[in-house]
Amino acid sequence: MPTTPAVGSRRRCGWCAASNGSAGTSAAPRRAARWRTPAGTSRSCSTGSGTARRTASTPPPPRSAGTCAASTGWSGSTWTSSASRCSTTTRSGCNATASGRSAGSPISPWTASGWSTRARSRGTPPTWTPSPHRACPTLADEGVTLRLPSTRFLIGLVTVIAVCVVAAVLWKRSADAPAAAAPPTTVTCVGGSEKSELMADAEVKRILRDDYRLEVAFQPLGSYDQVQLSTDEIKARKLDCLWPSSASAQGVFEAQHAGAFSGYRAENVLQSPEVIYAGPRGTDALLRKGIVQRRGDRYFVVDMKGLLLNQVVRRGTWEALGATDLRGPITVSSTDPVRSNSGFTMAQLQLNIIATDDGFSAPNLAQARKALPAIRALYDAQGLQSRSSDSGFREWLTQGGEFKAPLYAGYENQIIQQVVQSGDASAALLKNVRVLYPDPTIYSDHPVLALDPDAGRFADAMKDPKIQQIAWKRYGFRSAVQVDANDVGDFPGIGLADQIRAAPAPAADVTLALLSCMKDANACR
């Protein structure tokens, strides 16, 4: 233990926290000096001069790069010092900063820590003067040994990090995933039969389900049958949308159901021109007569008025035209215009051509009424007709093509769809089919008539570029929303026209008058 200091003396050891100014009086505690001493020594406090004493149990301080060589030593139990010359390997940068010397000057860590090596005499120990700087002993001087973490610790750390990374990735995936928890909304829609296979396509259904959270319950129904359903019938059947195959049908619906559905909107998403299917024998006969013209590998009916008025209405025959193996009157067969839009579109085209001078404009109601008797005669000449576009075209193909009906009206997309489905057998199919484009023709639009917001989502979804490409490349529907989305070169051998001249469909009042005439001959007068 340190001795009690004399009166008036000052204790200058860094271990002592008080200074005595007079006998029996204790001054306020002062901050302990911040200093270190080399390992192997102990410090005791005495009055006047701070004596460093060696403990009996500790060895002398080791010689190292951090201690002064041949500058300090112990004599018996008293520390002695001579002029110090430190090793140049001492951490000069740190110690020079601590002592105020230059970085290149060697310095003893004892001096840096506050010990003065200037001995007054050989028997006088060095005095302690607290230094404002930290000493910089080596870790070896302090007795510190560095050890690497254990293998078990490292394995545990790596495991924890891996678990955290996996958890973060899984959380990110779940956050980025669509709202899969919400079930798809079912939209019930009635539409033309020609779109049945498109709506049954597995990829289309997947896109609607995954990208738009929609499932469509599609029910085939003729265009004019659906648009003439009453408001009560539509609501009773819980229909969300109608999908006719004609802008004229859309006009009829809007005229009869104005304001009945607050969320109503219409979007035309697909289209297909009306064409006339023929065989090689009938086509060759019409080419010789000048009614049909060939342009490259495409065929156009350039004299539709002559075909209708001079051949069909006047009961011209195929024998008179010199057609090989074809017999009977010349007619343009179609599906039932009262039930099916493909047949009704041909009736509209015939009305445009007969009721107007040029055939490129739609007639008004007065002009239409004058031409209705002739249109009715064309209708009566066909006999029994198919009720749907899809089944009607299949019957024509499977029952002999031109030998069943030398001229048959339908949609352009129907032959494309059949070629895709036929695969390698399509060459045999196309050998007996010619696609004739009336000049002008009428486009069959396919507008979605959305009756509520969910059906509006369906209309928007059908404009998806992926669905539009499927509709073209698998089912032959031209896009109504994307310019240059359809390349007729995708189907070589069919003779598809890349540009088609078209006339507008008649307005709603003319359409209703024509429809009434088809249903009842008395309404044609």
pLDDT for 146 equals 59
Shared domain for 216 and 95, answered yes or no, is no
User: Cα angle at 99 between 140 and 15, to 5 degrees?
Assistant: 65
CA–CA separation, 342 and 275 (whole Å) = 9
CA–CA separation, 325 and 289 (whole Å) = 17
The count of structural domains within the chain is 3
Check residues 118 and 455 and name the one with the higher pLDDT: 455
Q: What integer is the mean pLDDT of 97-115?
A: 45
pLDDT for 6 equals 45
Shared domain for 442 and 502, answered yes or no, is yes
Assign residue 354 the CATH number of its domain.
3.40.190.290
Shared domain for 488 and 510, answered yes or no, is yes
Shared domain for 100 and 152, answered yes or no, is no
Q: Tell which of 96, 127, 146 closes a domain.
A: 146
Residue 462 has pLDDT above 80, yes or no: yes
Residue that has been written with the tokens 């051998």 in this structure? 493
Q: Tell which of 177, 197, 217 closes a domain.
A: 177
Distances (CA, A) of 413 to 275, 298, 419, 443: 10, 16, 10, 12
Task: Give first-to-last CA distance, the chain, whole Å.
Answer: 136
* Mean pLDDT for all residues in the chain: 79
- 114 three-class SS: coil
Shared domain for 244 and 300, answered yes or no, is yes
Shared domain for 500 and 379, answered yes or no, is yes
Shared domain for 101 and 165, answered yes or no, is no
Shared domain for 483 and 394, answered yes or no, is yes
- Which tens digits make up the pLDDT trace of 198-255? 999 999 999 999 999 999 999 999 898 999 999 999 999 999 999 999 999 999 999 9
Lowest-confidence pick of 150-159, 184-193, 250-259, 367-376: 150-159
Shared domain for 264 and 308, answered yes or no, is yes
Comparing C-alpha atoms, which of 72, 116, 439 is closest to residue 276? 439
**What is the domain extent for residue 35?**
1-146
Exposure string for 212-249, b = 16+ CB within 10 A, e = fewer: bbbebebbbbbbbbbbbbeeeebeeeebbbbbbbbbbb
Amino acid in position 353: I
Please give the distance of CA 511 from its chain centroid, rounded to a whole number. Answer: 42
Shared domain for 40 and 156, answered yes or no, is no
Q: How confident is the model at residue 153 (pLDDT cuts 50, 70, 90)?
A: confident
CA–CA separation, 494 and 488 (whole Å) = 9
Shared domain for 127 and 171, answered yes or no, is no
Residue count of the chain: 525
Comparing C-alpha atoms, which of 261, 272, 208, 212 is closest to residue 239? 261
pTM of the model: 0.66
Shared domain for 113 and 159, answered yes or no, is no
